Each structure stands twice: as C-alpha cells, then as structure tokens.
Amino acid sequence: MSSLAINPPPNQRQGRLMLALIVGLLALPFIIGAALYFGGWQPPRISHHGHLVSPPRQLSGQMLRSAAKNGQKWIFMVRVAGPCTDACLARLDEMRRIHVALYKNMSRVSRAVLTDQPDDPALLALTRSQPDLLLLTAPPDELADITDPLLLVDPQGQLVITYPADASPQGVRADLERLLKYAWNG
C-alpha cells in the first residue's frame, strides 16, 4: 500500500499531465502579452494622412451655396490658384479616381474645385465632361492661411481635414473610408 502513495497510478499521472497542459495553454496568451509589453513592442497606430483642422472652420455661405444643391454631403475639393495647369488636371483626375474607389460611399461625397478664376477654359471643359464636378469660387481671403491644396468639408460646411500636395492617394482614400465608416451624417 505504501507503494501506491509514492507512485500514483498511470491514470492519475495522465490526469495531472493533462491539467498542467491545460493550465499552460490558458496561461500562454498572458505570458506572450507580458513578454511583448515588457519587451517594448507596441501595435502600429492608426493615423490619418491629412492635417486635422482643430477646431473645424466654418466656410462662408457664399462659397457653399452652389455646393448645397447636392444636399448634405461631404465635399472633397481641390483648391486651384490661377489657371489650371497640367499638374492641376492630374490632381483633379487623381481626386476623381479616389472618389470612384470609395465605391458604395461614393454617393456621400461630392467633388469640387475651389478656384479664383471661374472662367478658366480648362476647368470649364472639365466640368462639362464631368457634370458631377462642382466649380466653386471663394472670396480672395477665405482660405488665405491654408496652404494645402486638398480639402475635406463636412456636411455642415466646416473645413475638417486638409491634405498636402504630396499626399498619397491611398492614404487619402483610407482616411475617407474610415471617416465615412464612422460618420453618421452625409
């Protein structure tokens, strides 16, 4: 009988081994998490590619009157100073591609060109070939302190995000998709 106390039966040994295995598997995520935490690893953060305008800036009613005919939508606009050159046309084509890439959310966003020369022949020809492209004229000092050419305006007419000229189209599209996913308006 004393031999039973020293050497447990095989079933009891298998049971203890199974219990140790289960406890080890349950503790494994905590061990890995602690190792990653104390090792200094951090997950990549989601960041936006544009510049958030804080606080959002209300745009003048004069500029947004022609955009209001499209209803309560987000307005993705390109600001053009002077005549529209080849670089300007390329940026407008890039904006159109980003808009099309939004797919299901495409109807929630309007495209616009904000210009100081509404009679520019290149822009007039472009708006004739793309009827959904709005041509907006801003008062000269409306956005004098904003240097970025790509702008995003919310449905209430507030400038919320600006993008630099070298912003990647994939980054802009990712921002728009994320924004439209969580926005309840527009």
Q: How far is CA 70 from CA 52, 88, 106, 158, 172, in A?
A: 24, 24, 13, 16, 22
Domain span at residue 7 reads 2-38
Q: Are residues 92 and 29 in the same domain?
A: no
Q: Are residues 87 and 112 in the same domain?
A: yes
Q: Are residues 134 and 160 in the same domain?
A: yes
**What's the distance, Cα to Cα, between the start and end of the chain in Å?**
81
- What's the pLDDT at 22? 95
User: Helices (DSSP H) in 9-117: which residue ranges?
Assistant: 10-38, 61-64, 86-101
pLDDT per residue as tens, the chain (186 positions):
555 557 767 788 888 899 999 999 999 999 999 999 999 888 777 677 888 888 988 887 666 665 555 567 899 999 888 888 898 899 999 999 999 999 898 989 999 998 888 888 999 999 999 988 988 887 767 777 888 889 999 888 888 999 998 889 999 999 899 888 888 776
- What's the pLDDT at 18? 92
Q: Are residues 78 and 160 in the same domain?
A: yes
45 located within any domain: no
Question: Can you read off the two tokens belonging to residue 42?
Answer: 């951090």
Q: Are residues 59 and 133 in the same domain?
A: yes
- What's the pLDDT at 76? 92
Q: Are residues 174 and 120 in the same domain?
A: yes
- What's the pLDDT at 142? 73
43 located within any domain: no
The one-letter amino acid code at 102 reads L
**CATH number, domain with residue 134:** 3.40.30.10
- Residue 103 phi/psi, 5-degree rounding, is 55, -100
Residues 6+ apart with CB under 8 A from 169: 94, 97, 98
Q: How far is CA 155 from CA 48, 109, 143, in A?
A: 20, 9, 18
The tally of domains found in the chain comes to 2
Strands of 109-115's sheet in order across: 51-58, 158-163, 150-153, 74-80, 109-115, 133-137
Q: Are residues 27 and 55 in the same domain?
A: no
CA distance 164 to 174: 15
Q: Are residues 33 and 55 in the same domain?
A: no
- What's the pLDDT at 64? 66
Q: Are residues 111 and 169 in the same domain?
A: yes
- What's the pLDDT at 67? 59
- What's the pLDDT at 73? 86
